[in-house]
């Protein structure tokens, strides 16, 4: 095993060598301090100790995290540290919150008054269902993102989006009187067999409340629970975990108070203080202090330390060996003025392109261009592609992928019935625009798919569109819509369009099976997500800071540090994504 430093060693041996210990540890773990290594090494050491002490030992260590990506990183660490002589699946379970809760909710669905075969709705399906079922509420606008996100997550928590002044967003405020009605409608959908990701924790909580026997079984199964990134947990997740730990089990809460950026999803700045109060007399605090990621990059390490301590000087433009500050000079700074904003981004995109390493220097590197908001992301991605001929990579969220998979299932169902040529055209281009990032293909516009018809293809000039037209014509003769889609996706994959390779890979995997079942497609989807979580990032990624959390890039390009600095902890999260080089852009007048 890798030799731990003294801080790590204390935690690794805490439950095996310290007889006067408390049963709960709260560990402050900043990025780069070896949190994943420490968590896995603790689980291994704890397991070895118990097997040696009791040959009949049959309990498990549960390691709970938030994302599939984090789960994959922990599993990788177990492969590195764990002996091949031990069946670790028997003693250590690594999973994320949703997967862990889902396992029990699905197994006890009928006991909870739900159907046996529950279907997780995609965001697209759920949004449409909400439009229909909440049509009795005059104030509900199904196209309003903030209204939908507040309403659909009500079983998990009342996460009210706030204005910069701390008031509830006006559009959401209008819906608050209907809160209980909306919750009842969600429960009705769940009883019909359709459930959302944000509903699952609610039913896990209900299950633990309803069955003391099941709670006893789970508590007896896991006598050590290790929690990852606990500062981001919601109130409901917090309640469930405390229930599982109970009065006797051991627990380690790894957290970083400076990375708490999901307050809008129920993560609370008081979460860690509440732990201290809840386990008063049973909890000990420790901290991982030694940063190992930047051993030869003290300038990056010192900057992160300053940001963490709140002493970073936002007006400091002094570059160093591994940090470069770029002043983007503009006539004015005002993102609410279209003219000024366009000028700001026109200047910015050339500065960013100028600072990118040459292809030969970056081809085996990962570069994260981190922005405050999605508008910046979209503008830079478009500029890289259209003006500089650089294809950026995409980190898809599960929502995009789940939507595509559920849409494909619906499309395959249509094989059993006839559809007209206009509907087939719309279906084909829906999947084409799912796997490419271009805003339009000739005269076919991504944002106007409802206007697409067979006549749209009669007037096209691009050869690729003419070929798709021929596929549609053939499909209308032999009624083989599936073949039409397969041929179209294959054609797009070999084109010069900007391919979203992750989603292209997923669609191609699903389309390999001419005979299908919904279970088979969902199995393919889950396997795809699992394998994707293990992949190392390579290439240029343009994304917002929230999307970058939990990931690392060789080079980080930070856009508009001043705007990011206005939100507590956000700047720290952005800067801590870097491994080698940091380039910071600030607009100056």
Domain edges within the chain: 6-98+210-287, 119-192, 298-396+537-587, 398-499
**Start-to-end Cα distance in the chain:** 53
CA-CA distance, 86 to 22, in Å (whole number)?
29
Exposure string of 412-443, with b = 16+ CB inside 10 Å and e = fewer, is: beeeeeebebeebbbbbbbbbbbbbbbeebbe
- Is domain 6-98+210-287 given the CATH code 3.40.50.300 in the classification? yes
CA-CA distance, 561 to 548, in Å (whole number)?
15
Q: Which two tokens stand for residue 487?
A: 């041929």
pTM of this prediction? 0.84
Binding site membership for ATP: which residues? 29-36
> How many residues comprise the chain?
589
Binding site membership: which residues? 29-36
Q: Which two tokens stand for residue 375?
A: 């508008």
Q: What strand order describes the sheet that includes 366-371?
A: 323-329, 578-588, 553-559, 366-371, 539-544
Region for residue 299 given its phi and psi (left: phi exceeds 0; alpha: psi -120 to 50; beta: otherwise): alpha
Q: Please check whether residue 40 is in contact with residue 74, taking contact to mean a CB–CB distance below 8 angstroms.
A: yes
The topology (CATH level 3) of 298-396+537-587 is Rossmann fold (3.40.50)
Which of 547, 536, 543, 525 lies closest to 401 in space, CA to CA?
525
Other CB atoms within 10 Å distance of the CB of residue 377: 20
Helical spans, DSSP H, in 18-167 = 35-53, 68-81, 88-91, 97-107, 123-133, 145-152
Helical spans, DSSP H, in 195-297 = 197-210, 212-221, 235-245, 271-278
Please list the pLDDT of the chain residue by residue as tens digits (589 residues): 578 999 999 999 999 986 667 899 999 999 889 999 999 999 999 999 999 999 899 999 999 998 888 888 899 999 999 888 889 999 999 999 999 999 999 999 999 999 998 989 988 899 999 999 999 999 999 899 999 999 999 999 998 888 767 788 999 999 999 999 999 999 999 999 999 999 999 999 999 999 999 999 999 999 999 999 898 888 999 999 999 999 999 999 999 988 877 766 666 768 888 899 999 989 999 999 888 888 789 999 999 999 999 899 998 899 999 999 999 999 888 888 889 989 999 999 999 999 999 988 888 999 999 998 888 998 998 899 889 988 888 776 677 888 888 888 888 877 777 889 999 999 999 999 999 988 899 999 998 998 999 998 988 889 999 999 999 999 999 888 989 999 999 999 989 888 888 889 889 988 887 666 777 887 888 778 777 767 778 899 999 998 888 889 999 999 999 989 888 789 999 999 999 999 999 999 8
Domains 6-98+210-287 and 298-396+537-587 share a fold: yes
């Amino acid at each position: 095993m890798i030799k731990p430093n003294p801080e790590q060693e204390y935690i690794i041996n805490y439950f095996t060598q310290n007889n006067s210990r408390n049963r709960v540890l709260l560990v402050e773990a900043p990025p780069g301090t070896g949190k994943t290594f420490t968590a896995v090494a603790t689980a291994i050491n704890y397991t070895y100790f118990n097997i040696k002490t009791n040959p009949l030992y049959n309990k498990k260590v549960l390691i709970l995290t938030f994302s599939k990506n984090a789960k994959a990183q922990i599993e990788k660490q177990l492969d590195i540290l764990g002996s091949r002589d031990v069946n670790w699946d028997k003693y250590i379970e690594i999973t994320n919150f949703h997967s862990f809760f889902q396992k029990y909710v699905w197994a006890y669905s009928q006991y909870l008054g739900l159907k046996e075969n529950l279907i997780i709705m995609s965001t697209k399906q759920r949004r449409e269902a909400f439009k229909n079922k909440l049509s009795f509420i005059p104030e509900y606008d199904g196209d309003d993102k903030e209204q939908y996100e507040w309403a659909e997550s009500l079983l998990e928590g009342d996460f009210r989006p706030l204005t910069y002044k701390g008031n509830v967003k006006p559009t959401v405020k209008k819906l608050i009187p209907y809160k209980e009605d909306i919750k009842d409608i969600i429960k009705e959908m769940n009883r019909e067999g359709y459930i959302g990701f944000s509903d699952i924790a609610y039913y896990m909580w209900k299950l633990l409340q309803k069955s003391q026997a099941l709670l006893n079984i789970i508590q007896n199964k896991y006598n050590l629970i290790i929690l990852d990134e606990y500062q981001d947990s919601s109130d409901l997740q917090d309640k469930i975990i405390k229930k599982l730990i109970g009065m006797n089990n051991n627990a380690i809460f790894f957290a970083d108070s400076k990375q708490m950026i999901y307050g809008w999803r129920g993560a609370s700045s008081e979460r860690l203080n509440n732990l201290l109060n809840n386990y008063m007399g049973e909890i000990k605090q420790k901290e991982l202090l030694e940063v190992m990621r930047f051993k030869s990059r003290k300038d990056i390490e010192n900057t992160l330390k300053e940001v963490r301590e709140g002493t970073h000087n936002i007006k400091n433009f002094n570059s160093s060996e591994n940090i470069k500050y770029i002043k983007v000079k503009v006539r004015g700074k005002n993102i609410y003025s279209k003219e000024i904003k366009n000028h700001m981004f026109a200047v910015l995109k050339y500065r960013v392109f100028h600072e990118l390493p040459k292809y030969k220097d970056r081809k085996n590197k990962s570069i994260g261009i981190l922005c405050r908001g999605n508008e910046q992301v979209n503008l830079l991605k478009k500029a890289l592609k259209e003006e500089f001929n650089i294809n950026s990579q995409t980190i898809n969220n599960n929502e995009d992928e789940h939507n595509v998979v559920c849409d494909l299932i619906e499309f395959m169902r249509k094989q059993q019935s006839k559809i007209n040529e206009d509907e087939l055209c719309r279906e084909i281009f829906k999947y084409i625009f799912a796997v490419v990032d271009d805003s339009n293909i000739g005269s076919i516009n991504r944002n106007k798919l409802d206007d697409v018809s067979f006549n749209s293809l009669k007037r096209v000039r691009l050869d690729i569109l003419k070929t798709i037209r021929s596929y549609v014509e053939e499909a209308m003769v032999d009624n083989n819509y599936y073949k039409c889609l397969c041929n179209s996706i294959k054609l797009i994959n070999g084109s010069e369009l900007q391919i979203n390779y992750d989603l292209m890979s997923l669609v191609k995997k699903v389309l390999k099976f001419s005979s299908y079942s919904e279970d088979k497609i969902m199995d393919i989807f889950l396997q795809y997500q699992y394998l994707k979580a293990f992949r190392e990032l390579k290439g240029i990624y343009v994304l917002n800071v929230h999307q970058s959390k939990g990931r690392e890039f060789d080079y980080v390009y930070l856009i508009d540090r001043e705007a990011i600095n206005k939100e507590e902890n956000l700047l720290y999260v952005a800067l801590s994504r870097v491994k080698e080089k940091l380039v910071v852009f600030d607009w100056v007048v």
